[in-house]
Structure 1
Amino acid sequence: MNIPFYRVEVGGDEREKIDEVLDGEAPDIIKDLESAFESYIGASYALATSHGTAALHLAMLAIDLKRGDKVLCSINAYPSVPEVVRHFDAEPIFIDIDPDTFNIDLGKLEHYLSENKSKKLKAVIVSHVGGQSVDLDRLYEIAKQYDVKIVEDASDALGATYKGQKIGSTGADITCFDFSPHLRRNVCNGGMLVSDDEEIIERARLLRNHAMVTEDESLGYIYDVTDIGSQYMMSPLDAATILIQLEKQDDIIERQRVIAAVYNEHLEGAPHIKLPIANDEHPYSLYIIKVDKNRDSFARELSARGIECGLHYIPLHLLSYYKAKYSLRVNDFPVALRSYQQVLSIPNYAALSDDEVDEICEAILDVASTRV
């Protein structure tokens, strides 16, 4: 049996909604999705984009990021995070991680801000790895003290909560979602930018479609361009699929937690493996174990047994562009480096059958038992 790292199920409801779009029966499907998303998250405003990177890039536009500005982020983030900063000729500042959650270390973040007071420090992008958030109360207090914007990268945190509130409604200036994140490819693409700040959302809404405005509603072809934007619009077909998937998201998280509980039970005490350290609200969008040594050979042995694994993420200072651009050394971020050498994401998604979950456990236990 071959078990992919991720598999998405598309049912009759998605196909029916897509047919409505194709038949011209859902002309406002994107607005319908945005409204549903606002209700689901509990945010004041939601703006659909073509993909998650587009949402992040649009967020940088919305906060008016400029050349020479600085944006702090975790060294353990997907390349889209510093990439959107560099597109403005701004500088990403990397912070090491917490060894248990793989998220940005808030102590080191606060230390950097206390030692580097500058008007060029514009924002902090905080990624919630696997869907488990940082201490948001502390994060927002830090942001208030040092007057920086908070942009949350919730690519893995759709439906996740912090103290009972869904991520995206807890107090960030902007939160960005990705409906087809790294190694969990959906059948569609899409992102979402949410905010409670009307000024931010109106600027993002303007820039989402080339900053074009229509002055004569009776003649839709008469337009003006008032700023420099780009094309970040979501397609109606993507919106149709995502709208139906959104209705299932809480059930998806519940299934992920059930599977995680099985992993926790069966893999506890397995040699050479450390299980995730998680709080009660962890949605387990990713189930990340640590392998004490030779992680890649461990993954190859699982692959030979038909189990596909993932990696979240390669620390940014090990990537050629950032290493050369900022003269970064391998040991500059020791916690992230050590985690990178050990972490391995194993399959965890709602479409996994109980038999597949059992097979994954058996394969991991078998590989672990043969290692020295």
Structure 2
Amino acid sequence: MPDTSVTTTRIPMLDLKRQFAAIRDEVYAAMQEVCESQHLVLGEAVQAFERESAVYLGAKAAVGCASGTDALWLALVACDVKPGDSVITTSFSFFATASSIIRCGARPVFVDIHPDTLNLDPGQVEAKLYSAAALNLKAVMPVHLYGQCADMDRFERFGRDHSLKIVEDAAQAFGASWRGRRAGTLGHAAGFSFYPTKNLSAFGDGGLVTTNDNDLAEHVRRLRNHGSRVRYYHEELGWNSRLDSIQAAVLRVKLKYIDQWNARRREIAEFYDKLFVEVGLASPANRGGWAAKEPVRLLCTLTQAHHIYHQYVIRCMRRDDLRQHLSSRGIGSEIYYPVPLHMQECFNYLGYRAGDLPHTELAAKEVLALPIFPEITEEEQHRVVDAIREFYR
């Protein structure tokens, strides 16, 4: 493997410049078309992107909005989540998962994750469903973490059996699927994010709500536009959460490439897995358990899931020291997420304490995301894994 001690070229967590170099002319042409039309907000480009993304995902409707955070809030409100309600979700996620619930006036009920996938554990959710009669539960929000769908067989059943809305947090999962059905079509509604770090990314913020319920989609369209269908006539209190046409134009260009980019991410993840096993740092990903002699644990992929690896994440011993070592070798990394939501200071009022969600809290101390983007080279992946092997030598 390459000698990292003599290599000085930095390996970033994400290099969007490489992606842009390949699609520059298409992006500029799409942006120029919007500029010449001067239809800058909810214009023709937005309508076209909504149609094309709905077709791609297999959803009846897709509604663009200003951000992934807004997409989750819009989906929840359109599903009639309101003050006094509760929503079950994971604590091991980005802040918006919980803040969107609270923004509805509802209360997040955090449930532990499964240690093999780090997705919301349906077994733990089921136990909560039968012990939470006083919580006025309205919905469950599973997060498709890192690009792998949660166990939607179980969550769809919970929705039917307990009359709950299932709202997918699909912010990291554009193009992922469960038993051949794409994320965004597996519940009553879903929210996607197009933040620049996402696998399908805008040139700024952007989001999308998807649903197979046309009435729900119409409700989202009102909510994103101040609760208005007709200009200056407001049926309810909504929000200013409109997707602008420049972002939609960029997304339309990138949508054409998302399958090949996602396929490339899967290849990169498989190569990382192979390297970690070959150098003796980890056992195969789906073996289960964690051998004491191995400093790295690979996450599992469920057989029903088509994982698109928005992030490639390992669990590792001495995580913070390893991250410092990688940085000294010019290798980027990130922690998703260092502080679980139930331990965030702003959520102290919810009453959670250390030890309430043990798998979540342990994962927060062990997870490390490694560089992954479609243009990364095998030589760079060798350098990443060799630097990790050097650390544990």
For this structure pair, what is the TM-score category when the shorter chain's length is used for normalisation? over 0.9
Deviations 1:175-227 (A, max 9, x none): 1111117687753221110000122111111111001232xxxxxxx631111
* Kept in 2: contact 1:156–1:181 (CA 8 A): no
In structure 2, relative to structure 1, the CA distance for the partners of 1:121 and 1:330 (3 Å cut) is: same
CA–CA distance in 2 between the matches of 1:284 and 1:236?
28
User: Equivalent residue for 1:13?
Assistant: 26
Residues 1:37 and 2:37 aligned together: no
User: Equivalent residue for 1:318?
Assistant: 343
User: Equivalent residue for 1:356?
Assistant: 380
CA–CA distance in 1 between the matches of 2:386 and 2:56?
37
Q: 1:253: Cα distance to partner?
A: 0.9
Residues 1:275 and 2:290 aligned together: no
More deviation in 112-121 or 1-10? 112-121
User: Equivalent residue for 2:351?
Assistant: 327
Q: Secondary structure at the match of 1:331?
A: coil
* Pairs within 5 Å for 1:53-68: 53-68=69-84
One-letter code of the match for 1:4? Answer: P
* Kept in 1: contact 2:198–2:310 (CA 8 A): no
CA–CA distance in 1 between the matches of 2:232 and 2:308?
45
User: Equivalent residue for 2:113?
Assistant: 97
User: Equivalent residue for 1:302?
Assistant: 326
State the TM-score, normalized to the length of structure 2: 0.87
Q: 1:339: Cα distance to partner?
A: 1.3
One-letter code of the match for 2:13? Answer: F
CA–CA distance in 1 between the matches of 2:250 and 2:46?
11
User: Equivalent residue for 1:129?
Assistant: 145
* Kept in 1: contact 2:202–2:247 (CA 8 A): no
CA–CA distance in 1 between the matches of 2:212 and 2:242?
20
Q: Secondary structure at the match of 1:48?
A: strand
* Structure 2 residue runs without a partner (length 5+): 1-8, 282-293
* Kept in 2: contact 1:155–1:181 (CA 8 A): no
Q: Secondary structure at the match of 2:153?
A: helix
CA–CA distance in 2 between the matches of 1:213 and 1:89?
24
In structure 2, relative to structure 1, the CA distance for the partners of 1:275 and 1:119 (3 Å cut) is: closer
CA–CA distance in 2 between the matches of 1:63 and 1:169?
15
One-letter code of the match for 1:202? Answer: E
* Kept in 2: contact 1:5–1:347 (CA 8 A): yes
* Kept in 2: contact 1:5–1:183 (CA 8 A): no
Which of 234, 245, 258 is matched with 1:236 structurally? Answer: 245
Q: Using the aligned pairs only, state the percent identity.
A: 29
One-letter code of the match for 1:113? Answer: L
More deviation in 99-108 or 80-89? 80-89
CA–CA distance in 2 between the matches of 1:100 and 1:312?
15
In structure 2, relative to structure 1, the CA distance for the partners of 1:25 and 1:327 (3 Å cut) is: closer
One-letter code of the match for 2:389? Answer: L
User: Equivalent residue for 1:197?
Assistant: 213
One-letter code of the match for 1:176? Answer: G
Which of 153, 160, 172 is matched with 1:156 structurally? Answer: 172
Q: What is the root-mean-square deviation of aligned Cα atoms in Å? A: 1.8
Which of 176, 179, 194 is matched with 2:191 structurally? Answer: 176
Q: Secondary structure at the match of 2:233?
A: strand
Q: 1:327: Cα distance to partner?
A: 2.3
Q: Secondary structure at the match of 1:301?
A: helix
Q: Secondary structure at the match of 2:37?
A: coil
Q: Secondary structure at the match of 1:47?
A: strand
User: Equivalent residue for 1:366?
Assistant: 390
Deviations 1:314-367 (A, max 9, x none): 311221111x21222111111111111111111111121333222222222222
One-letter code of the match for 1:121? Answer: L
User: Equivalent residue for 1:218?
Assistant: none
* Kept in 2: contact 1:52–1:181 (CA 8 A): no
Q: Count matched residues.
A: 359
Deviations 1:139-182 (A, max 9, x none): 10111111110000111110011112211223x00011111176
Q: Secondary structure at the match of 2:301?
A: coil
Q: Secondary structure at the match of 1:230?
A: coil
* Kept in 2: contact 1:273–1:368 (CA 8 A): no
More deviation in 63-72 or 247-256? 63-72
More deviation in 114-123 or 294-303? 114-123
Deviations 1:243-272 (A, max 9, x none): 111111111111111111211111112141
* Kept in 2: contact 1:74–1:94 (CA 8 A): yes
* Kept in 1: contact 2:193–2:207 (CA 8 A): yes
* Kept in 1: contact 2:119–2:145 (CA 8 A): yes
One-letter code of the match for 1:262? Answer: F
* Kept in 2: contact 1:6–1:183 (CA 8 A): no
CA–CA distance in 1 between the matches of 2:28 and 2:198?
24
Residues 1:252 and 2:261 aligned together: yes
Residues 1:286 and 2:311 aligned together: yes
Residues 1:24 and 2:47 aligned together: no
